[in-house]
């Protein structure tokens, strides 16, 4: 299905995750962050989002534990940056599919 985010029509699934990773950009990420009550995005948010996109492109399975061990951010800070379901929210903002480890 289609949705307009940041003035751009993008393809999303029923949960609102982008289905075409190539449609993502920083404006879309910022708009999704506001929708998810995470924004505005600061430098640490962007660092996490770039890490997630990089891991996704490598085919790495994402998990909160893995992010905590990444050296990018510790688990406590990850929860502070993306409250109420950090991996789900961060993945949605990063424009990548919801990780299999998320319910």
> Looking at the annotation, which residues are catalytic?
102
Assigned token pair, 71: 């050296």
**Using CA atoms, how far apart are residues 81 and 63, in angstroms rounded to an integer?**
16
Q: Are residues 46 and 25 in contact, defined by beta-carbon separation less than 8 angstroms?
A: no
Sign of CA dihedral 89, 93, 94, 95: positive
Burial class (CB in 10 A: 0-12, 13-18, 19+), 94: buried
């Amino acid at each position: 299905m289609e949705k307009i985010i940041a003035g751009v029509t993008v393809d999303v699934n029923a949960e609102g995750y982008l289905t075409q990773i190539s449609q993502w950009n920083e404006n879309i990420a910022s708009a999704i962050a506001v929708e998810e009550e995470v924004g505005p995005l600061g430098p640490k948010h962007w660092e996490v989002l770039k890490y997630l996109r990089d891991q996704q492109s490598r085919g790495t399975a994402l998990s909160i534990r893995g992010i905590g061990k990444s050296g990018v951010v510790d688990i406590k800070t990850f929860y502070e940056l993306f409250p109420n379901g950090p991996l789900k929210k961060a993945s949605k903002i990063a424009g990548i599919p919801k990780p299999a480890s998320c319910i």
